[in-house]
Structure 1
């Protein structure tokens, strides 16, 4: 079970779809999380352009104007989804892993900008999460860093980082160490760098060789 998460910054555009599709195929991705679709609804045809050949299912949460928007695309032979929970800032899939039947909960996140709004989001998600009901995988653009080392040439807010770390620790989550570049958000022609995108998982999730990219 391999995951891919990507802030698409607008789902329309053939080059983006072709690139994501090539990543999915080359890395044998079975579950895709997309942030900032910037549309109210993502059609099946649009999802197919990102997925390529083979069966898939999808779910989306609407943007507010051109702000936000979330989508999950997955292989139904890998996970069986029973419940979808939609919110402006998160999109949750609840189901089970095909084959072993273990419950799994997938949370696609695009966090708001302000520190207070992010704190409310962390509290809302914490109220939903139940570690006794299956694995948890949180993916997306959290719009927060965990330390000053995760920002370069941009403002670091200690309170925001503390709130984010408290959310991670209080829910018993682990950050999956991703490969590649240290920073995931590049702005102002490469002058401002931040690590905003990540995977957070329940400790027992990776025991069977699951991979996230």
Structure 2
């Protein structure tokens, strides 16, 4: 399950921010983590493990520029295999394979400079990098840029900055992931804006299930962290498939009948047929994983399965619902 956290933490020196980031990682079962403005240099594997203690942790880091900046990208090495990367004071870009996918994907973690000219130059450099990193891109981070007037509480818009960002988005055909539950991602006592954002090329929405963007608690930072994750919603009942090859298992009919009888104690109300079938389905699924030893053979037992299940259901209906007319 894909889950990425991006946060301008405004310094990882304090214990409270360190602990909050660690809690976010574990709470959201992150696979990728991007931290900007770490305000730390010389980050190593020991420090990273204090944030995320997993066996195959991998990371790329960028040292601070004086007393400011500093970037850190962490990922679960069992979930993502990096094949190449690029980094600067404004981004960490990694390309590689996710899980069992046979196509490469790119994750570009961005930190926009406070200087307009530097941000414009950043987008131009990333355009050039796209020629070497040709896989579908995900762009996320503190862009320090808005796209529409509504992205700032003051309704102000930097035309040149927004134009440079739109040009980059158009070239890569990036689509923004809408942020749910919050309008702005940065705020102080006087102003607020949506400068932390996430964009993806169309392939990202195809490769991962229902990606959605939300925010976490900002704690002592003035930025809210972003969490981009696949939807965990239960979309309902999954079809049960009766395997023909089950009929080759020894005493399967007797096992099926025993399972059906066992559901009697679980369900006593008159109209609970669906519940009984659900319990039977679960018992068969467990039995299939633990006991069945002929997964690749098939047997034409469809008519037999219908006959036996009809017999079982018929007996249950007669007992619990009375004769039919």
TM-score (norm 2): 0.61
Pair 1:205-2:209 in alignment: no
Report which of the two structures shows the higher radius of gyration computed on alpha carbons: 2
Report 1:77-116 matches (<5 A): 77-116=78-117
- The residue aligned with 2:274 is none
Q: 1:156 to 1:133 in 2, by over 3 A?
A: closer
Contact 2:95 2:133 in 1 (8 A): no
Contact 1:2 1:211 in 2 (8 A): no
For residues 76 and 48 of structure 2, the distance between their equivalents in structure 1, rounded to whole angstroms, comes to: 12
Structure 2 alignment gaps of length 5 or more: 214-226, 228-325
| Larger mean Cα displacement after TM superposition, 172-181 or 155-164 | 155-164
Higher relative contact order (CA 8 A, sep 6+): 1
Helix, strand or coil: the match of 1:204?
helix
Contact 1:39 1:65 in 2 (8 A): no
1:10 positional shift? 0.8
CA root-mean-square deviation:
1.9
Over residues 134-163 of structure 1, what are the superposed CA-to-partner deviations in whole Å (9 max), with x where a residue is unaligned?
Answer: 221111110100011011137432222122
Pair 1:37-2:41 in alignment: no
Contact 1:21 1:52 in 2 (8 A): no
For residues 83 and 61 of structure 1, the distance between their equivalents in structure 2, rounded to whole angstroms, comes to: 16
Helix, strand or coil: the match of 2:202?
coil
1:123 positional shift? 0.6
1:70 positional shift? 0.8
| Larger fraction in helix | 2
1:107 positional shift? 1.2
How many residues are aligned here? 211
- The residue aligned with 1:165 is 166
Helix, strand or coil: the match of 1:96?
strand
Contact 2:106 2:133 in 1 (8 A): no
1:115 positional shift? 2.1
Structure 1 alignment gaps of length 5 or more: none
1:126 positional shift? 0.7
Q: 1:54 to 1:211 in 2, by over 3 A?
A: farther
For residues 69 and 143 of structure 2, the distance between their equivalents in structure 1, rounded to whole angstroms, comes to: 12
Contact 1:111 1:118 in 2 (8 A): yes
| Larger fraction in strand | 1
Report 1:1-213 matches (<5 A): 1-130=2-131, 133-153=134-154, 155-187=156-188, 189=189, 191-207=190-206, 208-209=208-209, 210=211, 213=227
